[in-house]
A = this chain, B = another copy of it.
C-alpha cells in the first residue's frame, strides 16, 4: 500500500527541516517538492539534494491545483512519497485537498511538522501568542481594493487583540507584496471609512525574513515604517491591540519602538 509523508521545510532555507523530516526523505522512494505556497528565497535544491542524497521532483501550482496532484498520487500508489512544502505542512488549503484525495484512494498519509511563520512572528516580536486574534492575508490590490484585511484589524482591535497580516506573494512571478504597499492599501481604505483603525500614527510592527540569519523586526508608527527599508522578502506586519507590560518592553528593547508605546499597556 502507498504512502505520502507531508514534510515541513520550516523557514528560510534547506536547514529549516527537522531531523525527523530529513530521515523520512532519506527513506522515501520518491521525493516531491513545491515552493509556491510560501516564499523560501534562500532554499537551494542543489544543496538539499546533496544533504538528503535524493533527487527532488518539482510540483507546480498547476499540477497540484488544476490536475489535483494526479501524477504525485499515481506515484504514491506504488510506494512511499515524501512531499516537501515550505513552513508547516497542511496550513495551505491545497495540501489539505491533496491529503483528502489520498486518504479517499486509501493512500496512507502522515505529517512531519516544520517551523511556521505563524508562530515565528510571535516569537520574534515578543508579543504573546494568546493575544492574537484571527490572522489575515493582504492581497495584491491590482485594481480591486479588498476591505477584508482592514475589517479584520478593526474587529481584533475592538477586542484588544493583535492582528498578524501575511502579505500576498506570487512566487511564480517572483512578486512579493511589500510592507509599504500593504500599508498604503490600508490607509486608502481608512480614508474612505473616516475611522481610526490604521492611521499614520498607528503602531505597527514590520517583519522581514523571520527565521533567517538576518531578520528585521521594526516597531513604530505607520508613518515611520512607510519610510523604512526592510530589504528582501518574505514580509509580514502585525497591528498590535492592547499591550501587556512585558510586550511593550519587548517592542522597545527588541524592535526599536519608541518608549511612548507604553501608553498602550492595559
Contact = CB atoms under 8 A, between A and B. Distances in A.
A211 B18 CA distance: 11
B10 A113 contact: yes
A96 interface: yes
Given A90-B123, A113-B119, A118-B118, A131 B134 contact: yes
Interface string A13-55: 1111111101100000000000000000000000000010000
A67 to B, nearest CB: 18
A206 interface: no
Contact of A96 (B116, B126, B137): B126
How many copies of this chain does one complex carry? 2
A218 interface: no
Contacts of A249: 100
A155 interface: yes
Contact of A89 (B89, B116, B123): B123
What secondary structure prevails in chain A residues at the interface with B? mixed
A135 B126 contact: no
Contact of A253 (B10, B100, B155): B100
Interface in A75-113: 87-91, 93, 96-97, 99-100, 103-104, 110-111, 113
A46 to B, nearest CB: 16
